[in-house]
Structure 1
Amino acid sequence: MRRRDFVRAAGAALPLAGCAPAALAPPTASPAGADPSASAASPTGPRRAASFRHSVTRWPFGEWSLDELCETAVELGIESVELVQPTDAPTLVRYGLTCAMTAHPPAAEDALRVGWNKRAHHDALVAAYEPQIRATAAAGWTNLIVFSGNRDGQDDAEGLEQMAEGIERILPLAEAEGVTLCIELFNSKVDHPDYMGDSSAWGLALVERIGSPHFKILYDIYHMQIMEGDVIRTVTENLDAFVHFHTAGVPGRHEIDETQELFYPAIVRALDAAGFAGFVAQEFIPTGDPRAALADAIRRCSV
């Protein structure tokens, strides 16, 4: 299930009994011959508190109710369940969780393709996003996702300028409400053909053009590995522009284990060393037991 399909179907879930937070279990010694990275993010030495915090996205875990995902998050030491709607805030509050990235407004359900890069879309997007900004702030959340939209033959420089013009229409409200608008960068090779915001360079140029601390980049490690690689250097040299990170394995968008090419322990250690204080969110699609996969991902992304 793709993210936009899940968001359409998301709604209220039957509440389960609440649960008390439990600490994430420390790593145990690996059996002889076992790969230590399979059970710990930092095979050498004990873990310590990282500069960043853990989050999980809602849509890849759609087989669980929201309550079940929240309960699992608490058990694993995850502080946020994201890409949910402000109407989900009471459920998150019940578990002591926040939402590190608000989903796009339901009124703009096709915003990923029909995005801010074209003036013709601006009026509808402004009408959809203004109440979403207010609702995000009212929930006590601080980040709201936005998308460039597809090119459809449009020049990248023209799309950047038109997106900046559109964002500037809602930016004063976002600034007044303390909400940061976050453009997510996607790959256009595999998952989102023709998406305009498909490179770090384009995203960074847009951030510079808008020039507000309330407009930043959601850097999806999976998507940018497919498009350009060079993840650690890119993020550490431009960390002031990146407010949030998503994970998944390449190729396949599945678990972040040895079946894929990215070494997440090194990536999160680099983020920690650079002082990144935001959230790293798991956004992989589990192929097996989702709880075991999520627990393993949190271990690998701990320092």
Structure 2
Amino acid sequence: MSTQHTRRLALPSAILRHTALLATGALILIPFVWMVSLSIKPPGEIFRASFSFWPEQFYGLENYTRALTEAPLPQYMLNGVIVCTMIVVLQVAVCAPAAYALAKLDFPGRNLLFAMVLIALLLPHEVLALPLFILGYQIGILNTYAALILPYIVSPFGIFLFRQFFKTIPDDVIHAARLDGLSEFAIVWKIMVPMALPAIIAFGIFSVVSHWNSLFWPLIAVRDQNLMPPPLGIMAFKNEEAGNDYGPLMAAATIVVAPLIAAFLSAQRWFVEGLTGGAVK
């Protein structure tokens, strides 16, 4: 009797949870659906009072052709790939040893350093924009790829995520590696990093999405159109070519967003595993 009663209570609860999830998912997807819809519509249908996803006159070929030909959109996307790839590689190279030291090594000031990492998590990157701009000017890296990459090499979130994952790895693994004669750096790259691959993939997705969509810092750091990442390139495309013609603008935005969606869907399993792995211990 109690089992049946529990099932009766569980069913409405499950329905409520799924309804809330579906409603939240719909709210998140509506802007993307609208963006794709506008990217295939002619100008006359964009500002109609009634909304329909599929246009009466399909204008997708014209809009996407303009997005790809009237602005160097492939160059913007290549810039995004170069910048995001270099940032992720350098972040892993810096954050993995730092996280290993905080998780597995015992040294004076370890707790203080970890507290500083947690404080850094609370600071928005925009707060550091002015000192970073002055530093970039003094060392002469403004308007280069280095200006877009170097400010993000040290990631407090990456250090925190890797530390939490490293703490789930048994200390016996570390002791066995030391008995085999491995140095601490060798332990990081030959043992810890391969075992933390899900966390690295999850962090990589966060990092790529964040820096692929970044507009504030690139707007300050670069002026050369050949160096602009996708969001800044789309803004330049609006100002110089598209104007208020929203069809090509939405087509360009769809092209820019598509690689992120594909990357997330392909790495979804590792993404979830990497986020939940550090919560086991």
**Structure with greater proportional helix content:** 2
TM-score, normalised via structure 2 length: 0.26
Larger Rg: 2
Q: Which has the higher contact order (CA 8 A, sep 6+)?
A: 2
Q: How high is the TM-score relative to the length of structure 1?
A: 0.24
